[in-house]
Structure 1
Amino acid sequence: MQFALVYPFLYKVLKPTFKNCLWAGDETIREIALTFDDGPHSQYTPELLKVLEEHRVPASFFWLGMCVERSPKIAQAVYQQGHWLGLHGYSHRSFTRLSYNELNRSLEQTQRAIARACDLPLAQVQQQVRDVRPPNGIFTPQILNWLLEWSYRPVMWSVVPEDWVQPGVQISVQRVLQQVTNGSLIVLHDGACGGQDVAATVAKLIPQLRQRGYEFVTIERLWKKSALRMSMTH
């Protein structure tokens, strides 16, 4: 069953309820973030990287630790191309199924995998790779409290074209273009589910979004704008 039409309504309900998460950027600025979950993948991520490099677009990747271990060279290529890195858990298990210790270990394992693959000091990765997106976007207030306790930053979404059910490139593109607005945080997938079409989808999306005047930024940029906005309203 596809839920693509439900996500815009979910976003409107959840965003004001869970204010400690990053749902989107500044609605007054024409900046958007392309984000990719479930990678890195041996075939789909390199195809995607070529498109991003060709268009000089920075993106943000939320990685599974086990996929980083499977494709360390590809993980390193993503990092060296200057993209922003985040955590999606060690495996694609819903965070709601993990205990306090299991979730903590899952995130730490993923940081260790990134440090090894990208040839970085673990301390640097622990300090810099702190953005976490829960698999399937499923979380509870308790999970958010744990993430904040461990100094992670929960990242969600505002545009979900549901590309993982493979609706086809054209439909994924159309869904993004219908929903995109200032500050949009767009979720696509470069993993086993949805990755087949990701390079083609992004190759079509980027020129059309640029034509509408959008600038592509990373999650870090959206956080900074969000913090600035919060400080100005208090």
Structure 2
Amino acid sequence: MQLAPVFPILYRILQPTFPSCLWSGSVREPIVALTFDDGPHPQYTPELLEVLDKYKIPASFFWLGVCVERSPEVAKAVYQRGHWVGLHGYNHQMFTSFTPPNLKQNLEKTQLAIAQACQLDFDYVQTHVRDVRPPNGVFTPQILNSLQQWNYRPVMWSVVPEDWVLPGVAIVVQRVLSQVQNGALIVLHDGMFGGAEVAETTALIVKNLLQRGFRFVTVEQLWQLNSVV
């Protein structure tokens, strides 16, 4: 069963129900945030970086701790380019399967992997790498309360083209372009599932949106802009 047609409906339902999450940015400006889950990947992420470098645009990456440990040099390359980094859990295990202490430990383990790969102080990472996207977008009100209690910021999405099932570049691009509006927060994947086509897909999306007059921002910039609206 394809879920792509369901995500726009879910967004319209969930966004006003859970306003503490970042779902999108202000509709007053032609801005869009590109985000990438499940990386870093030793092949797909460097290919994606070449596209982002070519167009000189920022992106946001939600990393799995185990993938950071496997590809530390790729993680470091992403960070050194100034892209925004967030957490996607250590190994893509659903947050609903954890007790609160275990979930906190899972996130801290991912932060530690990032600190070691990017050669950063662990305390700095704990303070600055605090955006969290739950695997599969699954959360409960209790999970949100815990994340906020631990000073994490939950980040969701407004455009999900279901690229991880590899429906084809043309279909993914069409889904994104048909749903994008001011403030869109787009989810793509540079990991094992979906990553094989992410560079080509991203290049087509970026080229089209730049022609439409959109400006690319990071998740951090969306938070900042939303706070002053």
Q: TM-score, normalised by structure 1?
A: 0.97
- Equivalent residue number for residue 9 of structure 2: 9
The one-letter code sitting in structure 2 at the alignment partner of 1:192 is M
How far off is 1:12 after superposition?
A: 0.3
Distance between the aligned counterparts of 2:162 and 2:102, measured in 1? 28
Distance between the aligned counterparts of 2:102 and 2:45, measured in 1? 28
Q: Describe the superposition over 1:56-88 as per-residue Cα deviations: whole angstroms up to 9, x where unpaired.
A: 010000000000000000000000111000000
SS at structure 1 position matched to 2:34: strand
The one-letter code sitting in structure 2 at the alignment partner of 1:59 is A
Identity across aligned pairs (percent)?
Answer: 63
SS at structure 1 position matched to 2:22: coil
- Equivalent residue number for residue 162 of structure 2: 162
SS at structure 2 position matched to 1:119: coil
How far off is 1:226 after superposition?
A: 1.1
- Equivalent residue number for residue 232 of structure 1: none
- Equivalent residue number for residue 82 of structure 1: 82
The one-letter code sitting in structure 1 at the alignment partner of 2:126 is Q
How far off is 1:130 after superposition?
A: 0.5
Distance between the aligned counterparts of 2:57 and 2:182, measured in 1? 17
Q: TM-score, normalised by structure 2?
A: 0.99
Extract unaligned runs of 5+ from structure 2.
none
Q: Describe the superposition over 1:15-66 as per-residue Cα deviations: whole angstroms up to 9, x where unpaired.
A: 0000100000001110100000000001100000001001101000000000
SS at structure 2 position matched to 1:36: strand
How far off is 1:227 after superposition?
A: 1.1
- Equivalent residue number for residue 105 of structure 1: 105
Alignment of 1:177-192 (within 5 A): 177-192=177-192
SS at structure 2 position matched to 1:33: strand
- Report whether the alignment pairs 1:171 with 2:177: no
Distance between the aligned counterparts of 1:53 and 1:201, measured in 2? 15
- Report whether the alignment pairs 1:49 with 2:33: no
Alignment of 1:1-234 (within 5 A): 1-229=1-229
SS at structure 1 position matched to 2:114: helix
How far off is 1:2 after superposition?
A: 1.0
How far off is 1:228 after superposition?
A: 1.1
Extract unaligned runs of 5+ from structure 1.
230-234
Distance between the aligned counterparts of 1:57 and 1:99, measured in 2? 38
**Matched positions, count:** 229
SS at structure 2 position matched to 1:103: helix
Q: Describe the superposition over 1:147-190 as per-residue Cα deviations: whole angstroms up to 9, x where unpaired.
A: 00000000000000000010010000000000000000000000
List structure 1 segments (4+ residues) > 2 angstroms apart after TM superposition. none
SS at structure 2 position matched to 1:86: strand
The one-letter code sitting in structure 1 at the alignment partner of 2:112 is R
The one-letter code sitting in structure 2 at the alignment partner of 1:146 is S
Q: Describe the superposition over 1:187-219 as per-residue Cα deviations: whole angstroms up to 9, x where unpaired.
A: 000000000100000011111001111000000
Distance between the aligned counterparts of 1:65 and 1:204, measured in 2? 29
Q: Describe the superposition over 1:79-126 as per-residue Cα deviations: whole angstroms up to 9, x where unpaired.
A: 011100000000111101111111101100000000000000111111
The one-letter code sitting in structure 2 at the alignment partner of 1:160 is V
